[in-house]
Amino acid sequence: MNTYAIRVIYKQEMMRAWETLLQSFASPVLSTSLYFVVFGSAIGSRIQHVEGVSYGSFIVPGLMMLALLTQSIANASFGIFFPKFTGAIYEVMSAPISFLEIILGYVGAAATKSFIIGLIILITASFFVPLHIAHPVWMVAFLVLTCISFSLFGFIIGLWADDFEKLQLIPLLVITPLVFLGGSFYSVSMLPPAWQTVTLFNPVVYLISGFRWSFFEVSDVSVAVSLSVVLVFLAACLLTVWWMFKTGYRLRQ
Amino acid sequence: MSQSSQTIVSISDLSKTYANGYQALKHVSLDIQRGEILALLGPNGAGKTTLISIICGIVNASSGTVTVGGHDIVSAYRITRGMIGLVPQELTLGAFDTVWNTLSFSRGLFGKKPNPAYIEALLKDLSLWDKKNSVLMALSGGMKRRVLIGKALSHEPTVLFLDEPTAGVDVELRKDMWALVRRLRESGVTIILTTHYIEEAEAIADRVGVINHGELLLVDDKLALMHKLGKRQMIIELETPLSAVPAELVAWGLELSEDGKELVYTYDPHKSNTGVNGLLQVINTAGLPVKDLRTTQTSLEEIFVSLVNKRS
Ligand SMILES: Nc1ncnc2c1ncn2[C@@H]1O[C@H](COP(=O)(O)OP(=O)(O)O)[C@@H](O)[C@H]1O
Ligand SMILES: [Mg+2]
């Protein structure tokens, strides 16, 4: 195990976030606060309660997920795309380092950043709404799993993208809609039955549902199913990255 | 070629076809000796970078094998890559790192424990010490090149690849680079450099490999190469200019220079009978007043041009 390599990659990636502190950490806080003002106060005052939870509190897990997913993908995809773009990737590719070590460095750093952002949002939210976390351990588990799997997903996008446009494409065209339609701001049970069925094909629904359960013990689907979906997604991402490195996909061909 | 214990890098039957179907390397076999400076000489697009990239693990080979220090570059990549340092052709550096951090990063990436004293000595050796806290973006091209060398040496490799180290570098810096390469070789590092400057290969290489269209045309000792392929010319400088080659000398295939002051005789110095003796006698008998005589050796450039032309 080349632990020095993991360490220097991780450190370099974390430094990058530190140097752009405002962008890395302040912007998610700001946008979350805005969501609270708009959805929590303005609209939420008319909705009152969803499944026995005040609307302002109800949207907290969804908001966190929205930020986690976008941040994980953005951080991890950029982290590997940028050296590809400058050409500096040659060094990582010529180093005595396995795909697992590369992932631990790059994806580990991206996931750490999103995790921190998730916590910051949680703290921010606590200033707006009363928060009670029913299952803190599960909450953290979902948080960690989400950060890791979507950072991995972002890493794949970063490996795949060969220009900036493609780098933006998936987050914009796939992730944002999936999160918005994934029950961040409503309960799936509020939808007409036909749409409820459609929604079940959206993996983000399971993520948000499980995460919300850890807060309020209310969920759209069972927790076990949520957890399985997250784990399957994680495994699929890992397999994809493994395959990409094995075949040298877009890197060594 | 037999593989001796002196072989540090052994390339055998290596081919590469890129994803777009272009065959950049065709059955290249080459043994690189421990401690030598090998120049891979070839025009743009010959396949030099591709060859290096495969050995360093950046590009996958299509077929063939490479060993470094006796270890296969695929199955024992951790060992082989740890032995190798690479200075890439392009100035590919991150933008926001400092010189110090980027060298420390490289060292760690190659699995070496931090060693600030070594990095310091390296930076001083590369005249980069006063730039250690500078951001890469702010450096000149020449400095960036030296930073890349520093990165490649940060993990104390035993084999160093320099891909066109002096492309676009002015004469003075080129001399500095050559001096650096020689110093490295003295410290025991094996050096493989690619170049399309003949004078570079001629100036610093021990051996030269000529590569074109993905084929390794020949590899030989630089001196032996010139010896083997070099034609020699004897230039006879005359007291009085001639308008034509005198009749009695026509049989020797002499060329007359434009101003009529020089007769040029081209011969193969390795033949038992070079004809020099006979020619001098004939000139003597013809009573041509000779002012001076000199011989020149064909440069690597001419050898190279003739080789490349022959094959394509
Ligand atoms: N990634 C690639 N995909 C397709 N063709 C490539 C790729 N890289 C290099 N080539 C082609 O392979 C040939 C050899 O390139 P290269 O090894 O860079 O040559 P050199 O370094 O001798 O100039 C060139 O014709 C180049 O266009
Ligand atoms: Mg090249």
Mutate to test the interface with A, among B107, B109, B144, B151 (most CBs of A within 10 A): B109
**Contact list, A87 vs chain B (CB under 8 Å):** 88, 90, 92
Asked if residue B283 and residue B199 are part of one domain, the reply reads no
Paired residues of B209 in beta bridges: B40, B219
d(CA B27, CA B39): 19
**Percent of chain A residues topping a pLDDT of 70:** 100
* CATH code where residue B20 lies: 3.40.50.300
CB count, 10 Å around CB of B110? 28
Domain check: are B217 and B238 in the same one? Answer: no
The reply to whether B31 and B145 lie within a common domain is yes
What is the Cα–Cα distance from A227 to A244, expressed in whole angstroms?
Answer: 26
Residues of B in contact with A18 (CB under 8 A): none
Q: What is the pLDDT of residues A87-123, one digit of tens each?
A: 999 999 999 999 999 999 999 999 999 999 999 999 9
- The pLDDT, as a whole number, for residue B300 is 66
Measured at the alpha carbon of residue B222, what is the angle toward residues B217 and B227, in degrees to the nearest 5? 90
Which ligand has the minimum distance to the alpha carbon of residue B41?
A: 1
Q: How many residues are recorded in chain A? A: 253
- With respect to residue B25, please indicate whether it lies within any of the assigned structural domains: yes
Q: Is residue B305 part of a domain?
A: no
- Does the predicted TM-score (pTM) go above 0.90? no
Interface of A with B (CB under 8 A): 2, 4-5, 7-9, 12, 16, 19, 82-83, 86-88, 90-98, 248, 252-253
| B126 CA to centre of own chain | 21
B237 plus B216 within the same structural domain: no
Asked if residue B2 is part of any domain, the answer here is: no
In a domain, residue B213? The reply is yes
CA distance B4 to B281: 50
Q: Are residues B135 and B253 in the same domain?
A: no
Residue A153 makes CB contacts below 8 A (sequence gap 6+) with: A72, A73, A76, A233, A237
The C-alpha R_g of chain B, in whole angstroms, comes to 24
B48 C-alpha to center of ligand 2: Å?
A: 5
Confidence of residue A127 (pLDDT cuts 50, 70, 90): confident
The pLDDT value recorded for residue B2 is 45
pLDDT at B230: 67
Pair (B253, B154) in one structural domain = no
Q: What pLDDT does residue B168 have? A: 76
Q: Exposure of A211 by Cβ count < 10 A (0-12 exposed, 13-18 middle, 19+ buried)?
A: buried
Q: Are residues B156 and B70 in the same domain?
A: yes
CB–CB of B310/B302 below 8 Å? no
In a domain, B152, yes or no: yes
The answer to the question of residue B311 being in a domain is no
Domain boundary among B202, B227, B252: B227
Same domain, B197 and B295: no
ipTM above 0.90, yes or no: no
- Tell me the residues of chain B between 120 and 179 that have a Cβ less than 8 Å away from chain A: 151
pLDDT value, residue B32: 97
Task: State whether B192 and B295 are in the same domain.
Answer: no
Per-residue pLDDT at B96: 82
Closest ligand 1 atom to B214 CA:
14
Domain holding B295: CATH number?
A: 3.30.70.1560
Answer whether residue B306 is part of any domain.
Answer: no
Looking at the structure, tell me whether residues B64 and B130 fall in a common domain: yes
Ligand 1 pocket: which residues have CB below 6 Å? B 18, 20, 22, 24, 42, 44-50
Domain membership of residue B162 (yes or no) is: yes
- B100 & B13 share domain: yes
Residue B111 Cα, gap to closest chain A Cα (Å): 5
Among B187, B203, B227, give the residue marking a domain's end: B227
pLDDT higher at B11 or A127 = B11
Q: How far is the CA of B44 from the centre of ligand 2 (A)?
A: 7
CA–CA min distance A115, chain B (Å):
24
| Pairing mode, strands B84-87 and B159-163 | parallel
Ion ligand 2, residues whose Cβ is below 5 A away: B 48-49, 89
Residue contact A252–B112, C-beta within 8 A: no
pLDDT tens for each residue of chain B, 312 residues long: 444 569 999 999 999 999 999 999 999 999 999 999 999 999 899 999 999 999 999 999 999 999 999 999 999 999 999 999 999 998 888 778 899 999 999 999 999 999 999 999 999 999 999 999 999 999 988 899 999 999 999 999 999 999 999 887 788 888 888 999 999 999 999 999 999 888 888 889 999 999 999 999 989 898 887 766 667 888 999 998 988 888 888 888 888 988 889 999 988 877 778 888 888 888 888 888 899 998 887 766 777 777 777 665
Same domain, B217 and B248: no
The number of folded domains in chain B is 2
Ligand 1, atom nearest to B42 Cα: 22
Question: What is the rounded average pLDDT for all residues in chain A?
Answer: 89
More confident residue, B80 or A125: B80
Which residue segment(s) compose the domain that B250 sits in?
231-299
What is the rounded distance in angstroms from the CA atom of residue B144 to the CA atom of residue B172? 16
Whole-number Å distance, alpha carbon B164 to ligand 2 midpoint, is 7
Q: Which residues pair with B216 in a beta bridge?
A: B211
Final residue of a structural domain among B227, B249, B282:
B227
pLDDT at A78: 93
Amino acid A176: pLDDT: 84
